[in-house]
Structure 1
């Protein structure tokens, strides 16, 4: 059986973020572990990540892990990161996600020709990025997480103002977690694809694994256009 290097690297990242020894079952299935320090979800929540037909789940306590194990192992793997399916078997107060997890290799990357657009590089803390966040609004800004990037920001301007930007934060396992944000009035014009392409190219040149995590269909389409492959999903669950 051939091994998918992209899947191996992606799984290695989330196994490490679980903060306790756990691995994705090679033949599918759900593995539940106790991890109070899990990086799969907010503190005190249940974290679910599915990749390549297998899932790992972290719970904050033994009792919660036992309950979650009994509930989720009765579901098909593809359903354990489905908020509606999870609500059928667990008492849920809130969820974050699900978000698709997509990755790209150097061989699969499809860069975008910016054409007449100019992609400018700015420091990640540049004040012009904060101006874009004001245009985008609190919800979209929080979803993008542009303020967390550790790479340069790759931006597109119109009328002197930054209207689209992308960058990445270096995660464990040499992963580049990509953030993309476009001002509402400028969406649907390929600007996110242009900025995202420059960001992914920068990450690949540094031998990092680009990760695109997205809930919004438009963002997922941008990633797919750049050659990213959706390998799984992430869901965080706060139990009632």
Structure 2
């Protein structure tokens, strides 16, 4: 069962991020808002839904047209990338989402980490991590959010090779957001789950709420999160406009 206090903290974070009231997220509701400070400068629209309400954040000039478009419509209708794009006459360059926004505070589904999972801490580990990076595409590496300068990194090493790596980023919310990447030749073998499990375990032990974000279309990634106990408390769609 999802802990109520965790839901409260998650919704409070999204309310602040989107610039809406907490109450807007707990009653059936569709609302269009001008970008808050958190999204200021973002050239596009950002949409959040928790299955109850849908909040659409947009640059000021698009608020009236979107407000008119969503009138008398429910959250399930407007939380749709194609519908949102059509409402803006197809003015977009890139759509990201829907994304799964999962959270966990309970470690009951986590498992003991194997000895093959270690903390990154040496020049040898740096070399192995670079080999992993070279095996992946640049966009995959960017999406993993792994940055040795910003956070601790966990590695799974098998036969002298890093087969998966992960770290977390502490956001303004205080939640620890998990980032993960697996060597292309070792995907589908449970290595990503092993790293996410170990990261989650360490984060929860420190008293943090863990956050896991991935595209819903990445069903293996969503399955990893759910198998470890992450609960979907939100979904997002980001549409960036053409210049």
* TM-score bracket relative to the smaller structure: 0.7 to 0.9
Separation in structure 2 between the aligned mates of residue 42 and residue 214 of structure 1, nearest angstrom: 23
Contact 1:124–1:153 under 8 Å retained in 2? no
Contact 1:46–1:238 under 8 Å retained in 2? yes
Q: Does 1:189 align with 2:221?
A: no
Contact 1:29–1:73 under 8 Å retained in 2? no
Match of 1:46 in 2: 45
Structure-to-structure mapping, 1:1-240, within 5 angstroms? 4-18=4-18, 20-23=19-22, 24-35=24-35, 37-39=37-39, 43-61=42-60, 63-92=61-90, 93=92, 94-106=94-106, 109-115=108-114, 118-122=116-120, 127=126, 128-147=128-147, 150-215=150-215, 216-239=218-241
Shift in CA distance, 166/142, structure 1 to aligned 2, threshold 3 Å: same
1:175 is displaced (CA, Å) by 0.6
Off by >6 Å, runs of 4+ in structure 1: none
Q: TM-score, normalised by structure 2?
A: 0.84
Shift in CA distance, 164/59, structure 1 to aligned 2, threshold 3 Å: same
Shift in CA distance, 203/95, structure 1 to aligned 2, threshold 3 Å: same
Separation in structure 1 between the aligned mates of residue 156 and residue 192 of structure 2, nearest angstrom: 9
Shift in CA distance, 79/143, structure 1 to aligned 2, threshold 3 Å: farther
1:170 is displaced (CA, Å) by 0.3
1:42 is displaced (CA, Å) by 6.9
Per-residue CA distance 1:96-125 (angstroms, 9 max, x = gap): 222111111225x4113345x511011599
Structure 2: gaps (5+ residues) = none
Count of aligned positions: 234
Give the RMSD, CA atoms, in angstroms: 2.7
Q: TM-score, normalised by structure 1?
A: 0.85
My pick for the range that moved more, 205-214 or 122-131, is: 122-131
